[in-house]
Amino acid sequence: MEYDKSDVNKIPVLNAESLKHWVAKSLLFYKLRRLGHDVVSEVPIPGLGVADLIDLTLNVQYEIELDVHKHIRLSKAEKYGRDGVEIIVVHCHNMPTDIKELNKFLDQYIVVD
């Protein structure tokens, strides 16, 4: 995987991204940084697509999924699957709107070690 080293620990705002998607991605980013992990966001994966977040410290890719259809969520994990990278699909189609509840909700997806 190649990425611009100057993009480590920065999170962009994309025009086509929904606010709900960006909030979930930003909070995950924040939580990973608080754990001391290095993170990149919106990294092109050749032949696969663009990764929402990649935890460089643990080699974990987080994909935010807002679609309610289970087959869509499952296909995202299959789409990005590759050797040496754990893919975590964060199912946010019914995420809480309260920031404290959202913070607790996202804890279930965080890989710490």
Instruction: Please give the CATH topology (third level) of the domain spanning 16-93.
Output: Trna Endonuclease; Chain: A, domain 1 (3.40.1350)
Question: Where is mean pLDDT largest: 53-62, 86-95, 104-113?
Answer: 53-62
The residues, ordered by sequence, that sit 6+ positions from 78 with a Cβ below 8 Å of its Cβ are none
Q: Distance (Å, rounded) from C-alpha 60 to C-alpha 67? A: 21
> Edge-to-edge, what's the strand order for the sheet holding 86-91?
39-45, 49-55, 60-65, 86-91
Q: Report pLDDT digits (tens) over 24-75.
A: 999 999 999 999 999 999 988 888 888 999 999 999 999 998 876 666 656 7
Q: Report pLDDT digits (tens) over 99-108.
A: 899 889 899 8
Kindly report the backbone phi and psi dihedral angles of residue 12, in degrees, each rounded to the nearest multiple of 5, phi listed first.
-85, 165
pTM of the shown model: 0.83
